[in-house]
Structure formats: structure tokens, C-alpha cells
């Protein structure tokens, strides 16, 4: 579908002069990301909260924080761990292809467990399985950007990939609302779409094959190294990691507590919440789709990354402040649109930036991108653990919670400035 595959035995990223990727491959690559987000994000936005309110209505907030937080720890472990395994995979089917398919199958199994859970522990187990499997798939998808896409296209392809995030959120939340009468269908239909898209990408992928003689060693030292990169040796990567972590601290608070915010601060009836979240997701998604493509393409054209990343983080902080002081649902929708514009530009330029400064791309692309993805998933564990304390200290004020989120995101805008390897 695109260019010539790297010869068997080459490591990911080992081809220094990758040919330009063809649009059919880029579109299918984006579809695989869209399917993944369609299966993974709606449970965070809506599905888990709905299940918790049914299973444990008396302790809904605490139970949701427990499930989301522990599940995020599984993602924190799974992404770099499976990324390391992907870098060492010597299957005749390639390095990334087995993890694409296995991750999609495991994600479907985990979502089925969530749909049939009768207790919070069962719900927690299902979400942990889902997070582990989906992050195995995500590690392979992220490595494909370094494996297959030349530097001159990374901003554009990152923009296309980031359209998958709003498309997945919108499509997934639409399905959750449309299939609300069937809990099993609500979770398994998105999972089936994710599996079909992963199989299509696996079919067309010109995957690298690694011979056993060139497989990197793997012991306890390498296992522990799957979760850490020396910040003194690779400062650019570390600053980019810090910026992403701080941005996602704000994103995770907004995603996790949006339902309770709508009920507690804006006074929405619980029965209206699924429709309200679908509308807000649709508005945000449209903004992300447009700004991601434009921001990624402009970043490529100008050869600059930092100004887009830092400026977009500041804009997202302003959006969080607008949400914190929203007096009505239309105000909230306008703020979500602003957040979408900021998120689209940030993610397109940031993914291109980190791929440009990625350490040891020739041998450890998936592992190091997995470590970078810790910056996205760790806040999903930390912030739900911290948020109840903020809410308790502020008398249950979601305005205070989102002001804290805005401060963290603004710090993320500053953290990208010391990066020196890109402009």
C-alpha cells in the first residue's frame, strides 16, 4: 500500500530514508486509531460512570475513582511493557502486527467483562483487562509512526491520527447513547469496530521482521528500563514528557468528572447527561478534527513544533478556566469547542515533536514511545486519586477542581520551552 517495506531483520526505525507514505495507508492507519479510541474512550467518558451508578449508587464517585485509577495503572504498565515486547518480536508475521490483533481481541474481551459485571470488583477486573489489551495495541500503533512515516510527513500524519481521537469519542458516545437499552451492545459494538479496523491495518501493513540474532537482550535491567529514560542523557525527551503529563492532568480531570460536573454544577438531570455529553463531545470533536489537520500541516510547512505545542497548551488552560466558571450549558459547550481547538493543535504538533527527538529510534522505538505514553496515562491514575481531596477541601466545587487543572496545563505550556532539538 505504501513504499517499500524495510528488509526482514531490520529494526523499527532503521531505515534512514523512508519513502513518503501513501494516502490509502495513512487513512487505514487513522481508522485503526479511531476504532481503538471508539472502544476505549467512551467507557471513561460515560460507560463506566453509568455502570457504577447501577452497581454501587451509594458510592458512585469513590467507586468510579477506584476503577479509573487502577485501570490507568494497568495502562501505565502495559504501554511501555508491550512496546518493549513489540521491539523484540521475531514473529514471521512481523514486529507490530501480532500486537495489533492480540490487543484488539483482548480489548473486546475486557469490554465484555465490563458489560456483564455485577459488582465493582468485576467491573474493575474488566477495565484492567481492557486497559492492558488496548495499550498493547496502542504501543504497536505508535511505533508504526516512527517505522513507516518519514520526518517530512510526521506533522501531517500526526494531525490525521489525531482526528481519530474526536472521531472515536463522538462515534463511541453516539453508540453508547443509541444502544443504551442494551448494556452488552453498548460495549461490544465499538469493540467489534475496533477489531475490524485493526485487522485491516494488519493486512496492509508492510511490517518489519526481526531475526532472532538481532533481537535485543531482555532481563530485569531491561524490564525496569521499559518505564524510565535518563532525563540527564535525553533532556529534550524528558521536557516533552513533562509537558504531555501536565496537559493530560487537566484532560483526565475533565474527562473523568464531566458527568458529575454537569449534574452537580450545571444542574443537568441524570437522564439528560448521556445526550449532553454526546453533544459536548461532538462539538469538541469537530474542533479537534479541523485544528489537528491544520495545525499539523502548518507545523510541517513552517518546520516548527514548540510554538504550536506551547501556545495550544495555554489555550487549553483558558478553556478549562471557562469551564470552571460556566454558568450554563451553552457556555460549557463554547468552552469545550475552545478546548477542542487547543487539543487538536497540541496533539498534532506534540506527537511530531516527540518523534523528532525520540531517543534510540533505531532499536527501541516502541519502548520509548511507550514510555512517552506514560505521560498520557499516569494522570488518569493520579488525578482521580487526588481529585476527591480537592473536591472535599473546596466543599464539592468543580470550579476549584478545573482551576487546578488549568494551572497544571499552563505549566505544561512552559515545560516545552527548554526543548532544543527542534524549533
Answer yes or no: is 6 within a domain.
no
Q: Give the CA dihedral 204, 206, 211, 216, nearest 10 degrees.
A: -100
416: phi > 0 → left, psi -120 to 50 → alpha, else beta; which? alpha
Handedness of CA 346, 352, 358, 364 (dihedral sign): positive
Contact 369, 143 (CB under 8 A): yes
**Structural domain that includes position 364:** 23-210+219-415
Answer yes or no: is 398 within a domain.
yes
Length of the chain counted residue by residue: 423
At 7 the pLDDT is 33
Centroid of chain to Cα 302: 26
Lookup: cell for 169: 469519542
Please give the Cα distance from 330 to 205 (Å, whole number): 43
Contact 265, 398 (CB under 8 A): yes
At 133 the pLDDT is 94
Answer yes or no: is 422 within a domain.
no
Answer yes or no: is 14 within a domain.
no
At 25 the pLDDT is 87
At 146 the pLDDT is 75
Answer yes or no: is 1 within a domain.
no
At 18 the pLDDT is 64
Instruction: State which residues of the chain have pLDDT below 70.
Output: 1-18, 44-45, 211-228, 360-367, 421
At 334 the pLDDT is 95
Between CA 160 and CA 409, with CA 280 as vertex, the angle to 5 degrees is: 70
Number of domains in the chain: 1
Tens digit of each residue's pLDDT (9 = 90 or more) over 186-212: 889 999 999 999 999 999 888 777 766
Tens digit of each residue's pLDDT (9 = 90 or more) over 337-353: 999 999 888 888 887 78
Residue 341 parent element (H or E): helix 329-356
At 2 the pLDDT is 35
Answer yes or no: is 3 within a domain.
no
Please give the Cα distance from 218 to 85 (Å, whole number): 9
Contact 370, 81 (CB under 8 A): yes
How many CB atoms are closer than 10 A to CB 217? 7
Answer yes or no: is 8 within a domain.
no
Please give the Cα distance from 403 to 400 (Å, whole number): 5
> Quick one: which of 169, 166, 145 has its CA closest to 12?
145
Please give the Cα distance from 253 to 404 (Å, whole number): 10
At 222 the pLDDT is 62
Contact 36, 133 (CB under 8 A): no
Please give the Cα distance from 181 to 117 (Å, whole number): 16
Name the 3-class secondary structure at 83.
Answer: helix
pTM (whole model) above 0.85: no
Q: 97-116 and 60-87 helices cross at what angle (nearest 10)?
A: 160
State the CATH number of the domain containing residue 198: 1.20.1250.20
Q: Could you identify the residue written with the cell 505544561?
A: 412
How many CB atoms are closer than 10 A to CB 345? 29
Please give the Cα distance from 104 to 2 (Å, whole number): 23
At 77 the pLDDT is 81
Answer yes or no: is 16 within a domain.
no
Name the 3-class secondary structure at 375.
Answer: helix
Amino acid at each position: 500500500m505504501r513504499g517499500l517495506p524495510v528488509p526482514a531483520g531490520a529494526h523499527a526505525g532503521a531505515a534512514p530514508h523512508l519513502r513518503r507514505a501513501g494516502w490509502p495507508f495513512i487513512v487505514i492507519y487513522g481508522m485503526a486509531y479511531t476504532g481503538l479510541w471508539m472502544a476505549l474512550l467512551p467507557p471513561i467518558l460515560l460507560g463506566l460512570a453509568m455502570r457504577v451508578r447501577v452497581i454501587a449508587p451509594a458510592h458512585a464517585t469513590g467507586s468510579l475513582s477506584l476503577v479509573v485509577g487502577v485501570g490507568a495503572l494497568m495502562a501505565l504498565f502495559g504501554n511501555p511493557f508491550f512496546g518493549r515486547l513489540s521491539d523484540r518480536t521475531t514473529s514471521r508475521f512481523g514486529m507490530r502486527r501480532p500486537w495489533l490483533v492480540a490487543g484488539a481481541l483482548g480489548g473486546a474481551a475486557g469490554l465484555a467483562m465490563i458489560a456483564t459485571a455485577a459488582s465493582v470488583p468485576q467491573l474493575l477486573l474488566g477495565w484492567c483487562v481492557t486497559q492492558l489489551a488496548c495499550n498493547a495495541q496502542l504501543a504497536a500503533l505508535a511505533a508504526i509512526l516512527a517505522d513507516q512515516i518519514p520526518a517530512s510527513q510526521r506533522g501531517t500524519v500526526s494531525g490525521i491520527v489525531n482526528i481519530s481521537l474526536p472521531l472515536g469519542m463522538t462515534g463511541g458516545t453516539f453508540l453508547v447513547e443509541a444502544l443504551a437499552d442494551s448494556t452488552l451492545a453498548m460495549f461490544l459494538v465499538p469493540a467489534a469496530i475496533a477489531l475490524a479496523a485493526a485487522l485491516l491495518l494488519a493486512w496492509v501493513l508492510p511490517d518489519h521482521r526481526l531475526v532472532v540474532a538481532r533481537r535485543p537482550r531482555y532481563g530485569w535491567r531491561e524490564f525496569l528500563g521499559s518505564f524510565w529514560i535518563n532525563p540527564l542523557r535525553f533532556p529534550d525527551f524528558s521536557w516533552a514528557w513533562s509537558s504531555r503529563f501536565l496537559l493530560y492532568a487537566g484532560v483526565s480531570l475533565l474527562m473523568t468528572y464531566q458527568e458529575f460536573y454537569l449534574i452537580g454544577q450545571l444542574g443537568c438531570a441524570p437522564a439528560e447527561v448521556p445526550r449532553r455529553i454526546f453533544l459536548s463531545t461532538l462539538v469538541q470533536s469537530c474542533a479537534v478534527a479541523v485544528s489537528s489537520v491544520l495545525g499539523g500541516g502548518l507545523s510541517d510547512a513552517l518546520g516548527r513544533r514548540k510554538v504550536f505545542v506551547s501556545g495550544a497548551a495555554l489555550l487549553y488552560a483558558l478553556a478549562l478556566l471557562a469551564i470552571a466558571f460556566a454558568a450554563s450549558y451553552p457556555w460549557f459547550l463554547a468552552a469545550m469547542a475552545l478546548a477542542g481547538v487547543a487539543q487538536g493543535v497540541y496533539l498534532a504538533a506534540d506527537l511530531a515533536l516527540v518523534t523528532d527527538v525520540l531517543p534510540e529510534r533505531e532499536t527501541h522505538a516502541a519502548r520509548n514511545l511507550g514510555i512517552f505514553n506514560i505521560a498520557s496515562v499516569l494522570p488518569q491514575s493520579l488525578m482521580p486519586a487526588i481529585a476527591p481531596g480537592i473536591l472535599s477541601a473546596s466543599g464539592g466545587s468543580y470550579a476549584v477542581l478545573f482551576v487546578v487543572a488549568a494551572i497544571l496545563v499552563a505549566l505544561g505550556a512552559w515545560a516545552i520551552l527548554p526543548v532544543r532539538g527542534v524549533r
